[in-house]
Amino acid sequence: MGLAQVCKSPINYTGNKYRMLPQFIKYFPEDTNKCVDLFTGGATVAINLISEEIIAIDNNPKVINLLKFLKKQEYKILIDKIDELIEKYGLSNSYKYGYSYYKKYVEGNNGLKKYNEEGYSKLKKDYNKLENKKTDEANLYLYVLMVYAFNNDIRFNSKGEFNIPVGKTDMNKNNREKLKKYIDMCNEKKIEFICKDFKEIDIKDLKDVDFLYADPPYLITDAVYNENAGWTEREETELLNMLDKLNNEGIKFALSNVLQKKKLNKKNEILYNWLETNKDKYFINEIEYHYRSASYNKKNRDGLEEEVLITNYKVGE
Ligand SMILES: C[S@@+](CC[C@H](N)C(=O)[O-])C[C@H]1O[C@@H](n2cnc3c(N)ncnc32)[C@H](O)[C@@H]1O
């Protein structure tokens, strides 16, 4: 199979597949030489694939640049720079000083929010003022912003400004471990990050790929990354056409998606029709969508989402 032990990405990306990855293990093909993680987002799937070569593609330049920046760092040097920035903006550093040091600033279950509010707001302003967001400095700022952001989220408004409010946590042990593991994984594996729109990919360039995983924005859910980029029926149809072409070339693929949201009476008709037309070629594998937090569980129960992994091969074949 194509997955190692499951590691978390240092980027807590909306719609990431961390919790579903252990289930993907039995569906992903074995012995792959070159894999593509199309719509890589926070690269959760890409970093966990076992393959000679892994290509991770997404059209979000800020996320791809951040992944590229973190990949080329030496952990010890990077962490010193991060600690320096934390110090400069007066942000909490519970790893260095212990959480108890900040106890008097904690109100209710707001964690370190109050302590970090001012410094975070200044950091956000300074990051948004940077003219060139591609530099190492900008990426360092962005990483630290994300760590101190609400839910460790990474999101930009239509003007390209980072727009998440302050969160409850900081550069704690867990975030340090995720960062170190990511850098280690990138050093161990041959993984390349490419910023590209999937529509610009020429199938001819994928000839030597033996497995492609596609995790596009879901047409019938309102994920945040749809806000700016826009995922419409046009993109959905183009992607399915692309997958048909891959199938014709004998390239294995797995597509994540949600077929319907029963409570909201929403159904992905395009996907349904495509599957109906290709009944003999494509297979629907049901995936359990288990979130840890109670509120998410409730949301999922109410929405009755049907999370699936569609493959052009039968599992075990
Ligand atoms: C569901 S998320 C992927 C999450 C990812 N699998 C993970 O585990 O973090 C979908 C991704 O598709 C990207 N995307 C949206 N439209 C795209 C397009 N036209 N071409 C390439 N990537 C696109 C978004 O930037 C987003 O990162």
Indicate if ligand 1 lies below 6 Å from the C-beta of 229: yes
Which CATH fold would you assign to the domain 21-59+196-311? Rossmann fold (3.40.50)
**Over 80: is that where the pLDDT of 222 sits?**
no
Indicate if ligand 1 lies below 6 Å from the C-beta of 39: yes
Question: What value does the mean pLDDT of the chain take?
Answer: 90
Pure H helices in 189-279: 226-229, 233-248, 269-277
DSSP annotation of 35 reads: E
Indicate if ligand 1 lies below 6 Å from the C-beta of 197: yes
- Closest by CA to 247, choosing from 284, 215, 278, is 278
Which pLDDT tens digit goes with each residue over 258-275? 998 777 678 899 999 999
pLDDT in the model for residue 31: 86
Q: How many residues does the chain have?
A: 317
**Average pLDDT rounded to a whole number, residues 6-25:** 90
Q: Using an 8 Å Cβ cutoff, are 253 and 247 in contact? A: yes
Indicate if ligand 1 lies below 6 Å from the C-beta of 198: yes
Q: What is the CATH number of domain 73-178?
A: 1.10.1020.10
* d(CA 215, ligand 1 centre) in Å: 6
Query: pTM for the whole thing?
Result: 0.92
* d(CA 272, ligand 1 centre) in Å: 21
* d(CA 185, ligand 1 centre) in Å: 21
Indicate if ligand 1 lies below 6 Å from the C-beta of 303: no
Residue with tokens 């959905």, as numbered in its chain: 236
C-alpha–C-alpha distance, residues 15 and 223, integer Å? 8
Indicate if ligand 1 lies below 6 Å from the C-beta of 216: yes
| Residue, of 198 and 230, whose pLDDT is higher | 198
Q: Which atom number of ligand 1 is nearest to the Cα of residue 42? A: 9
pLDDT in the model for residue 3: 52
Which pLDDT tens digit goes with each residue over 56-107? 999 999 999 999 999 999 999 999 999 999 999 999 999 999 989 998 888 8
Which of the listed residues 17, 38, 54, 59 should we mutate to test ligand 1's pocket, taking the one with most ligand atoms within 8 A of CB? Answer: 59
Tokens of 160: 């390209």
Torsion of Cα atoms, 165 then 167 then 170 then 176, to 10° = -90
pLDDT in the model for residue 224: 54
DSSP annotation of 129 reads: H
C-beta neighbour count of 293 within 10 angstroms = 8
pLDDT in the model for residue 158: 84
Residue with tokens 């101190």, as numbered in its chain: 148
**Over 90: is that where the pLDDT of 297 sits?**
no
Which of the listed residues 17, 21, 58 should we mutate to test ligand 1's pocket, taking the one with most ligand atoms within 8 A of CB? Answer: 58
**Over 90: is that where the pLDDT of 1 sits?**
no
Burial class of residue 81 in the structure, from the number of CB atoms within 10 Å of its CB (0-12 exposed, 13-18 middle, 19+ buried): middle
Nearest residue by C-alpha to atom 7 in ligand 1: 16
Q: What is 133-174 written as a DSSP string?
A: TTSHHHHHHHHHHHHHBGGG---B-TTS-B-PPB-S--S-HH
Q: Which atom number of ligand 1 is nearest to the Cα of residue 13? A: 9
- Vertex 224: Cα angle to 234 and 114 (nearest 5): 170
**Average pLDDT rounded to a whole number, residues 285-311:** 65
* d(CA 168, ligand 1 centre) in Å: 26
* d(CA 51, ligand 1 centre) in Å: 21
**Average pLDDT rounded to a whole number, residues 196-216:** 96
**Over 50: is that where the pLDDT of 14 sits?**
yes
* d(CA 117, ligand 1 centre) in Å: 30
pLDDT classification of 137: cutoffs 50, 70, 90: very high
pLDDT in the model for residue 229: 55
- Vertex 198: Cα angle to 194 and 203 (nearest 5): 95
pLDDT > 90 in the chain, percent: 73
Which pLDDT tens digit goes with each residue over 159-172? 889 999 999 999 99
CATH 1.10.1020.10 domain span(s) along the chain: 73-178
pLDDT in the model for residue 5: 64
pLDDT classification of 315: cutoffs 50, 70, 90: confident
Nearest residue by C-alpha to atom 25 in ligand 1: 60
CATH 3.40.50.150 domain span(s) along the chain: 21-59+196-311
